[in-house]
Amino acid sequence: MAAPASTVLQFNLKIGNDLINVYAESIMEGEELLEALLDSGIPQKYHDAVSKLSAVNAVVATPAPSPAPARSTAPASVPGPAAPAPAAASDAPMCDHGLPARHVPGGISKKTNRPYPAFYACAQPRDTQCSFRANAE
């Protein structure tokens, strides 16, 4: 949708996958419209929902049941190394948000090409993460 010809200010707000366009004819009207949007609670409700889903996803790592193996005449492949099991929720320390931190397995840094040990980090989305870090034992 194109902005009306009388538009002086245009705000484009992306909340999740939704795009909200706010058109205003003056700075004062723009401030009033943005304030009304914030008062509606839409951005906070979205943020709260994403935070809760991220926390649940970090804690509950239940693998889907594997399907029954199909019969094949092709040679069997050799499985790769098994991924380490995620730490139980009770074992994970709490981050600054008061939620269980996610376990980050040790590996090789892409930036420095040096090994790093396993650690725990905030499980929130990147833009809302706290600075919590703890060594995994």
* Mean residue pLDDT across the chain: 74
Q: For 27-40, how does the pLDDT look when each residue is reduced to its tens digit (9 = 90+)? A: 788 778 777 877 77
Question: Sign of the CA dihedral 9, 41, 58, 60?
Answer: negative
Kindly state the percentage of the chain with pLDDT values over 70.
61
- Pick from 113, 91, 112: which is nearest to 100 by CA? 91
What pTM value is reported for the model?
0.36
Q: Which portions of the chain are predicted below pLDDT 50?
A: 62, 82-85, 87
CA distance 131 to 93: 13
**What pLDDT score was predicted for residue 18?**
74
CA distance 124 to 60: 14
